[in-house]
Each structure stands twice: as structure tokens, then as C-alpha cells.
């Protein structure tokens, strides 16, 4: 767990986790609205939704892979290096290091086959279909949940963020909303 000074030094890590949760919630709400949209809007609007979803998915991929960066102040790797210098308890150090290894292993496919291939280096030889996305429930959501778990463990507290929609609406707790995400194309019945 980070000290107060270390938390300030690595505050960008907290922002990465918060951004992942906000984006994941918004991404799934858009996907879950598709049945409604096909019945109630124009093809042009559907096209715009596909474009927005493509860039939202790319954003999720980039945020998740940022957490595995070599030397930034928003990556698990940098934080774990720092923790290895300051934590005296070998079991706790091993626990952090094992979680990082597991995250890196689980992230490998996403990082190599999607970020490097589709986003960072544009190495694909054929056009991507605009309506093709990763399987969120199997490929992205497990990594999002694991990133939250590691982030909480490192910070020593649950990383959450809320947004107040207004005086008469409820406050959005993105961490709570993210914990139960599921793709269901018929879930959202309006804009």
C-alpha cells in the first residue's frame, strides 16, 4: 500500500482507474441501447454510434494497456517498483508482484493483438468492420475488474468516482455501476 507521498506521486494511476470505469459504463450503455436505436432512429445516427463505440473501445484498450507501461506514473509497473523498495513484508511484496504478473499475462492478447495491431501501429492489412467489437464480457470486463482490484490494493482504498447529474437526478457512482456491467442489447429503452 502506498504512503501519502507515494499516492500523490502516482495520483495519475487513480485517474486511469477512474477513466476506465467512466468509459466502461458509458460504452455498455451505448451498446445496450442498440435495439432501441434500430427501431427509433436513422441509419446515419446508427453509423455515428458505431464510430463512437469504436473509439470508446479503443479508449478502454489504451487505458488498460497504459497500466502496463514501463515507466509512467500511471502504471502498475512503476508503482510496484516503488512499493518493492518500501514494503518490508515479503508476503505483501510477493502478492503485489504476482498480481502484476497475472495482469500482464491476461493483458497480453489485448495489448499485442489489439492495441499494437489496430491502434498504435495500424498493422492490419484489411479494413476493420465498423460494427465488429471485442467480446466485452470475456475480453475487456475481466481486465477492468482486475485493474480495479489491483488499484484498490495499491492505494489501500476503493478507488471510486461519482458524478452528480443534477438536483433531481441521482448521483452516478461509476465504480458501483461498473461492477455489474453486462452486454444486453435490449436493456436501454431510451436516450
CA 180 to CA 141: how far, in whole Å?
Answer: 10
Q: Which of 80, 120, 121, 84 is nearest to 102 (CA)?
A: 80
What 8-state DSSP symbol labels residue 2?
-
pLDDT above 90: residue 185: no
- Residue-wise pLDDT for 123-166, tens only, equals 555 666 777 888 999 999 999 999 999 999 999 999 999 999 88
Q: Residue 153 to residues 10, 32, 110, 158, 173: CA-CA distances in angstroms?
A: 14, 31, 23, 8, 19
pTM (2 d.p.): 0.89
SS3 assignment, position 162: strand
The alpha carbon torsion through 105, 134, 72, 93 (nearest 10 deg) reads -30
From the CB of residue 21, how many other CB atoms can be counted at a distance below 10 Å? 26
- Residue-wise pLDDT for 53-97, tens only, equals 999 999 999 999 999 988 788 899 999 888 888 888 899 889 989
SS3 assignment, position 138: helix
Amino acid at each position: 500500500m502506498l504512503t501519502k507521498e507515494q499516492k500523490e506521486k502516482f495520483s495519475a494511476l487513480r485517474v486511469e482507474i477512474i477513466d476506465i470505469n467512466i468509459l466502461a459504463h458509458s460504452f455498455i450503455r451505448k451498446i445496450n441501447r442498440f435495439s432501441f436505436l434500430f427501431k427509433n432512429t436513422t441509419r446515419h445516427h446508427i453509423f455515428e454510434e458505431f464510430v463512437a463505440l469504436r473509439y470508446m473501445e479503443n479508449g478502454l484498450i489504451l487505458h488498460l494497456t497504459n497500466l502496463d507501461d514501463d515507466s509512467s506514473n500511471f502504471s502498475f509497473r512503476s508503482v510496484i517498483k516503488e512499493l518493492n523498495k518500501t514494503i518490508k513484508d515479503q508476503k505483501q511484496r510477493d502478492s503485489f508482484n504476482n498480481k502484476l504478473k497475472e495482469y500482464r499475462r491476461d493483458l497480453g492478447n489485448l495489448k499485442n493483438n489489439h492495441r499494437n495491431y489496430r491502434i498504435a501501429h495500424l498493422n492490419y492489412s484489411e479494413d476493420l468492420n465498423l460494427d465488429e467489437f471485442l467480446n466485452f464480457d470475456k475480453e475487456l470486463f475481466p481486465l477492468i475488474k482486475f485493474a480495479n482490484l489491483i488499484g484498490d490494493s495499491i492505494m489501500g482504498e476503493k478507488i471510486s468516482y461519482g458524478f452528480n447529474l443534477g438536483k433531481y437526478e441521482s448521483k452516478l457512482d461509476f465504480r458501483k455501476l461498473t461492477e455489474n456491467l453486462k452486454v444486453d442489447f435490449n436493456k436501454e429503452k431510451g436516450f
